[in-house]
Amino acid sequence: MDVFGPPLATHGPNKILVAVFALIALAAFWGAWSSVSSNSPDKSAETFAAVFYLVVAAALAASAFWMSRRRVVLYPEGLSYSSFFGEKNIRWDDLLHFYYRATKRSINFIPIGTYYWFRLVDTHGQSIRFGSGLAETSALANRLLELTQGPLLRRIASQFDSGTDVDFGRIRVNRQSGVVVKKSWGRLKRIPWNEVHSFAIKRGHFYIWRVGEKRATGPAISDVPNAFALLGLLNIVFTPSEPSVQS
């Protein structure tokens, strides 16, 4: 039964990653066969090597098969995630938390790409996780930010307007009192609204500067659920409203 309408985009498995795991698994199977067919007098060493290669080959083959079954489909109404274990669906209007992580990787200071990780939790407690095991994760990240921003911002703004605390993990905001940032060792950094100088997401962290503060530490956005919706909320709070035109 179709849960959503026509899809916007489909992201299947990362075929290169699946192929690499499959080739290494084949190499491990070949290593096991070579150990068994060897004429070495030390049979116990041959047996140990064969078992070792078989275990490694089986684990890699299972990983390649598992990765090949993963798929994310984006719709205007929500998201569908399928794997070897079944299928899960989340509607954007039911989305409660969106965790986002993007980490640039390098070898000997040579960039080799960006690793992505996402987690979505809805109001029913359902959780979906996926990341760089899928194809075109950079484009997937951009579409997820685009599709989740509106529904999350509406939910957050409604809670903010009600006067209750809005929890973003390591950051908490309140319409009356301002911002609270949880720092290391449980320390709290409290900033009233009239002392907030600026805020930004930089290098994977969420920074909020107090007036007169030149240097600040900020939590990783992976520890700040709905980080980009929080950024949107702060932009709204600190954007001067245009005066109404009266005739």
Asked if pLDDT for residue 42 goes beyond 80, the answer is: no
**With 90 as the cut, is the pLDDT of residue 84 above it?**
no
Most confident of 47-51, 128-132, 221-225: 221-225
Q: At what angle do helices 15-37 and 43-68 cross, to 10 degrees?
A: 160
Task: Read off the pLDDT band of 186 (50, 70, 90).
Answer: confident
Nearest-10 Cα torsion for 89, 94, 99, 105? 40
Of 11-25, 35-49, 57-71, 80-94, the one with minimum mean pLDDT is 35-49
Say whether pLDDT at 34 is over 60: yes
**Which pLDDT tens digit goes with each residue over 114-172?**
889 999 999 999 999 998 889 999 999 999 999 999 999 999 999 999 999 999 999 99
Is the per-residue pLDDT at 245 higher than 60?
Answer: no
- Residues 92, 122: Cα–Cα separation, whole Å: 8
User: Does pLDDT of 55 surpass 50?
Assistant: yes
- Confidence band of 246 (pLDDT split at 50, 70, 90): very low
| pLDDT at site 1 | 44
Closest CA to 230 of 142, 78, 99: 99
Tell me whether strands 78-83 and 71-74 are parallel, antiparallel or unpaired.
antiparallel
pLDDT grade for 75, boundaries at 50, 70 and 90: very high
Q: Is the pLDDT of residue 104 over 80?
A: no
Instruction: Report how far residue 206's alpha carbon sits from residue 75's, in angstroms, rounded to the nearest whole number.
Output: 29
**Above 90 in pLDDT, residue 74?**
yes
Q: What is the mean pLDDT of the chain?
A: 87
* Mean pLDDT within 181-209: 90
pLDDT at 157: 94
pLDDT digits 0-9 by tens, 106-130 = 666 666 678 899 999 999 999 999 9
Residue 52: its H or E element? helix 43-68
Residues 6+ positions from 222 with CB-CB distance below 8 Å: 99, 100, 101, 117, 204
pLDDT at res. 127: 95
Taking 50 as the threshold, does the pLDDT of residue 247 lie above it?
no
pLDDT on residue 244: 43
